[in-house]
Structure 1
């Protein structure tokens, strides 16, 4: 709810009353849980990043088949993106409102998350350089994260299936199609 508002409007344009209205509480009630609107923004950004990173680490550690692990990471990321606005999009729009130390910490979490994916892609695509792997990984993140902003008219299940297929193909099929 708050993430959607921080994505739709500038941070300064979002009021605690607006956030409270979306959450079904009064604006001042938010201060029982967060000391400031900025602290709420940090939580909106940090909680999903923590979940994505924890899930990716768990999958990488417990799924021995790199393709299955990558497919599970893609599935989780796509599912999360279809459920709510990706925190990376909210971060990009609002990073100037995040204190520098928090901003660096969040960027580090994003890098660690990308490294989990890149490690799997490297195992599956030894033909790629590290730079190519990073480019592909980030391009797939951008594709997945852009889905909530696009109204295709398709049901979420169809969108998810389409994006999952596109993501795995983008990462695993060589440019020459072989």
Structure 2
């Protein structure tokens, strides 16, 4: 066997033992959420994200073709998770008031437990390509529709437009803490935001 053939064989063995990190894409998304939350979308480069995720060179481009693609993946994950949890609640909780309260708790958990990611969403969604922005907005409206439907069922005194307005007000009450550091313990903050949303919804 020639030296070149031996080298090729060695190369094949090296490639065959190389294991792709299954968590690499998730590490990229987590790093991006942290960096963008702290520094802003425009101040963060793909190289910054790769370095924070422990990926050197062009490795990050094997997973995402651009910085906006990273942001889109982050936001899809957020909204898809909320929609998935919402569907689970609606399908399995027959008490409408309890179902609405569990939706409130899920939104509170997103705002308090995933604060950095929620901040990124609110600050940066307008930096996305228009097609992605419109698609994500449609998902967001779909998420809100279930809140409106439940509130319509629970409150006969509200019309559909009024129920929609009240739902937006309740979610705004929950999200009001995103850009204000209350200094409260997380559990206390969760309780206050949940109570505020229930009070706004009136049920």
Taking a change above 3 Å as real, the CA distance of residues 96 and 160 of structure 1, as seen in their structure-2 partners, is closer
Aligned partners of 1:27, 1:125: CA distance in 2, in Å? 57
Instruction: Map Cα deviations across residues 60-91 of structure 1 (whole Å, 9 max, x no partner).
Output: 12211011101111111111211223766534
Structure 1 position 42 matched with structure 2 position 72: yes
How far is the alpha carbon of 1:97 from its aligned partner?
2.6
TM-score (norm 2): 0.75
How far is the alpha carbon of 1:145 from its aligned partner?
2.0
CA-based RMSD of the aligned residues comes to 2.2
Aligned partners of 1:10, 1:79: CA distance in 2, in Å? 23
* Mean CA deviation greater in 7-16 or 109-118: 7-16
Instruction: Map Cα deviations across residues 145-173 of structure 1 (whole Å, 9 max, x no partner).
Output: 23232211210000001101111111025
The structure 2 residue matched to 1:134, chosen from 164, 168, 174, is 164
1:22-171 to 2 correspondence within 5 Å? 22-26=52-56, 28-85=58-115, 89-171=119-201
- Compare CA radii of gyration and give the structure with the larger one: 2
Aligned partners of 1:14, 1:27: CA distance in 2, in Å? 16
Aligned partners of 2:178, 2:56: CA distance in 1, in Å? 28
Aligned partners of 2:183, 2:80: CA distance in 1, in Å? 31
Aligned partners of 1:145, 1:137: CA distance in 2, in Å? 12
The one of the two structures with greater contact order (alpha-carbon pairs below 8 A, sep at least 6) is 1
Taking a change above 3 Å as real, the CA distance of residues 31 and 124 of structure 1, as seen in their structure-2 partners, is same
Listed as ranges, the gaps of 5+ residues in structure 1 are 174-178
Instruction: Map Cα deviations across residues 93-132 of structure 1 (whole Å, 9 max, x no partner).
Output: 3334322221111111010000011111111112111111
* Mean CA deviation greater in 157-166 or 81-90: 81-90
